[in-house]
Structure 1
Amino acid sequence: MKKLACVLALTSTFASFDAAAWGRDGHKAVGAIADRLLKGSVAQKQIQSLLLPGETLESIANWADCVKGSYCGPQTPEMLEYVNGNPQHDKYHYTNVPFQHDHYDDHGVGRTGVDIVQTLRQCIAVLQGKTDPELNPHKFTKRQALILLTHFTGDIHQPLHVGAAYVGKDGKFVAPRTQDEVNETAIFDTRGSNTLLLDDARLAELAKGLIPAGEPVPVKEGVPQALTKPFHSYWDSTTVDYAFRRLQTRTPGQFADKATGGKPQIPVIEGDPITVPYAWANHTLFVAKQAFEGVTPGKLTPQTGKKGEVYYSFALEVPANYPVPSSELAKQQLIKGGYNLAALLQAIFPEKG
């Protein structure tokens, strides 16, 4: 097996700023890949001891997003207990490092003590059985740690969940040197690229002839069709849809089967697995640069949020062939996410030698 030192496998108006990387199918694909790679291993047995009968990594992959509301169904007592004990749980899913940067560190613009890198470290520590209170400030149980690890491994491979865009008053992307510079006057925070808005009709036109046709999207009566799509939403869902179509797959399971066909090899993580999230974040910053290649912000427009706050959105332009490289990056990152999840869990629960 190929050895890696703690790193990677394989090379209308905006209404909400909630982030849900890769959407449901993307997260399930990451979990499904890991399920297949770990089949019959010691790690799989340890995983099953923490899951309920019938649960798999695929089936629990969206749990950390489902706790944000009722769109997955009624909240379970387990979900309510987690939410009540983690009032900042929505901040665990991402970090906002300027995408122009090459490395994640514990300080600087966009970093917080509860961001995705720090939360992943805590989940790993809990699964390793480390009892230092500083490594588990949220008091995660081992089951919670596994569920969160599965989801956040998917999140950290979504380029916009690590590489953030900031726009200067001249309408160009800029990398602020300090958090204080992000003052919504000279430098604007695009809120995880949620305020970078694509023309949805033009985007669909660009995809014609480049991306195989998909299933017709049902029209909801009484619901006006959105004219714009947040760039974050494009990366969460549209790129996944395009990646599935280009692989001629419709379900996460089919995607996982193709990703693990032949004789898949799980990379070996060397060193303490708790350092892995740093390496993942650094690689995703490299991918984020590719995600923003040729992308330019346009006209700034003041908007008013649900709570009356004022923020600014930017019309976004992308290259004419953007659906192809973006969906290829999404495919690679989904597959890496699944392989890296399997590698990490195998490092936490190693085969007995």
Structure 2
Amino acid sequence: MRKFLATLPLLLLLLTVQQAKAWNADGHQIVGAIADALLSANAKAKVASILGVDLRTAAPWLDCVKSVHRQADGSFKYVVEEAFEAPCTPFKDGRDLMEAYVGRNFVQCSYTVHRKENGHEFDEEMGCHNTYHFDDISILRDHFDRNFQGTNEHDIVAAINAAIAVLKDRPSPPPFKIATKEEALFLLAHLIGDLHQPLHVGAVYLDLQGQQVDPDVTHTIDPSTETIGGNALFDNNKNLHSAWDAPPTHFQVPQALDLLPIAQQIAKDTDQIENWSLAWASDTIKVAPRAFAGASFAKVQPSAAHPNGGWSITLPDHAAYVDARDQIKREQLAKAAARLANLLNAIWP
């Protein structure tokens, strides 16, 4: 997404809907489970008292709120979507909280997408709260900077700092409307995981010949160059973003603590706490080019399989790429867990 003031509408995305997910529910639960093991006794007690559940259970909450939809009368209602409901069942008695959160955080910015379905084209308002999950900074950059294209005042870095403010008994800074410490902790349990999925911070921008372009040279983004966090990139006709959302191959939630030794080696941040998310975003930007190492790209025309078009990605050694991707995932899941725990331990020493 581009850098806009929170009160201005975002330019229509012309390719497809940004999934605004990083790690699937299993990935988020892995992060939460490792973080639970790293919490101090005081922080663990605070998490339990505020949420009533551990971080492993809480981590998918912010994706569960995607089941809240704006109704024709302007109200917001949680609509059960069976394919995504399993990790959300612990919150079934708290759907009113989800509806209230979405209602408060829907309209501070306009996150509008242009969609094509069944031969029809239409604009759909996705809700500003969905922009809290990501940045789209060119992988040609090597650090996070608010002046870069692909950032905005309601992106993932800003959202993490807003949640930190609420947990530290400060007001929720605009444009965010985080009402309680419960909401703030749900956000952190999820968004720190999101921040470490490389395609949720770094992005490739391509011209029609599949060559990288640099949006920070012109200080603008041509909609035709966006790959939307990898959602418009297809590896063997499979969405590249979704492939990066999944945990490492054959790695499941019960194995989460296998990554604990890696997490224990992650250096603790000692800078001012409000700077931590910027440093973590910069770290992820440095990792993101590895997600595209050796890749070439070709334009995909709209078709039944890809109604919005996009780009195909070709890799010189696909098996080696998958192995490398799995290793990056292990590293990033462990980093996310360590940093989530270190943050909460710092807030509640």
Which residues in structure 2 correspond to 1:178-257 (within 5 Å)? 181-185=220-224, 188-199=225-236, 228-237=237-246, 240-242=247-249, 245=250, 249=251, 251-255=252-256, 257=257
> What residue number does 1:287 align with?
287
State, as a whole percentage, how many aligned pairs show the same letter. Answer: 34
Please state how far the C-alpha of 1:58 moved relative to its aligned partner: 0.3
Distance 1:266 1:135 in 2: 32
Query: SS at 1:130's partner residue?
Result: coil
Q: Decide whether aligned partners of structure 1 residues 300 and 344 sit closer, same or farther in structure 2, where only a CA change above 3 A counts.
A: same
Could you report, residue by residue, the CA deviation over 1:13-72 in whole angstroms, capped at 9, with x for unpaired residues?
Answer: x9753232111111000000000111x5211111112112xx110001000001102332
Query: SS at 1:68's partner residue?
Result: helix
Native 8 Å contact 2:259 2:330 kept in 1: no
> What residue number does 1:270 align with?
270
* Residue 113, structure 1, aligned to residue 153, structure 2: yes
Query: SS at 2:66's partner residue?
Result: coil
Query: SS at 2:144's partner residue?
Result: coil
What is the TM-score with the length of structure 2 in the denominator? Answer: 0.77
Distance 1:181 1:304 in 2: 31
Higher mean displacement: 64-73 or 90-99: 64-73
> What residue number does 1:176 align with?
215
Distance 1:298 1:134 in 2: 42
Native 8 Å contact 1:171 1:300 kept in 2: no
Native 8 Å contact 2:160 2:277 kept in 1: yes
Please state how far the C-alpha of 1:271 moved relative to its aligned partner: 2.8
Q: Decide whether aligned partners of structure 1 residues 277 and 177 sit closer, same or farther in structure 2, where only a CA change above 3 A counts.
A: same
Distance 1:334 1:303 in 2: 35
Q: Decide whether aligned partners of structure 1 residues 165 and 266 sit closer, same or farther in structure 2, where only a CA change above 3 A counts.
A: closer
> What residue number does 2:327 align with?
328
Could you report, residue by residue, the CA deviation over 1:84-124 in whole angstroms, capped at 9, with x for unpaired residues?
Answer: 11111111000011111011112221111110000001111
Give the CA RMSD over aligned residues: 2.6
Indicate which of 188, 191, 207 corresponds to 1:152: 191
* Structure 1, gaps ≥5 residues long: 1-13, 200-227
Distance 2:308 2:255 in 1: 41
Please state how far the C-alpha of 1:178 moved relative to its aligned partner: 5.9
Which residues in structure 2 correspond to 1:1-353 (within 5 Å)? 16-38=17-39, 41-52=41-52, 55-69=53-67, 70=80, 71-72=84-85, 76-87=95-106, 88-131=128-171, 134=173, 137-177=176-216, 181-185=220-224, 188-199=225-236, 228-237=237-246, 240-242=247-249, 245=250, 249=251, 251-255=252-256, 257-260=257-260, 264=264, 267-302=267-302, 311-320=308-317, 321-350=320-349
Q: Decide whether aligned partners of structure 1 residues 17 and 57 sit closer, same or farther in structure 2, where only a CA change above 3 A counts.
A: same
Q: Decide whether aligned partners of structure 1 residues 176 and 191 sit closer, same or farther in structure 2, where only a CA change above 3 A counts.
A: same
Query: SS at 1:297's partner residue?
Result: strand
Q: Decide whether aligned partners of structure 1 residues 345 and 181 sit closer, same or farther in structure 2, where only a CA change above 3 A counts.
A: same
Please state how far the C-alpha of 1:260 moved relative to its aligned partner: 2.1
Letter in 2 for 1:190: T
Distance 1:324 1:76 in 2: 39
Query: SS at 2:216's partner residue?
Result: coil
Letter in 1 for 2:233: L
Q: Decide whether aligned partners of structure 1 residues 83 and 167 sit closer, same or farther in structure 2, where only a CA change above 3 A counts.
A: same
Native 8 Å contact 1:125 1:136 kept in 2: no
Q: Decide whether aligned partners of structure 1 residues 264 and 191 sit closer, same or farther in structure 2, where only a CA change above 3 A counts.
A: closer
Please state how far the C-alpha of 1:141 moved relative to its aligned partner: 1.3
Please state how far the C-alpha of 1:233 moved relative to its aligned partner: 0.8
Query: SS at 1:119's partner residue?
Result: helix
> What residue number does 1:209 align with?
none
Distance 1:47 1:135 in 2: 25
* Structure 2, gaps ≥5 residues long: 1-14, 68-79, 107-127
Distance 1:262 1:292 in 2: 24
Please state how far the C-alpha of 1:151 moved relative to its aligned partner: 0.2
Native 8 Å contact 1:303 1:313 kept in 2: no
Distance 1:107 1:83 in 2: 28
Distance 2:268 2:223 in 1: 44
Letter in 2 for 1:67: V
Distance 1:104 1:303 in 2: 36
Q: Decide whether aligned partners of structure 1 residues 265 and 293 sit closer, same or farther in structure 2, where only a CA change above 3 A counts.
A: closer
How many pairs were matched up?
291
Distance 1:317 1:144 in 2: 41
Native 8 Å contact 2:299 2:311 kept in 1: yes
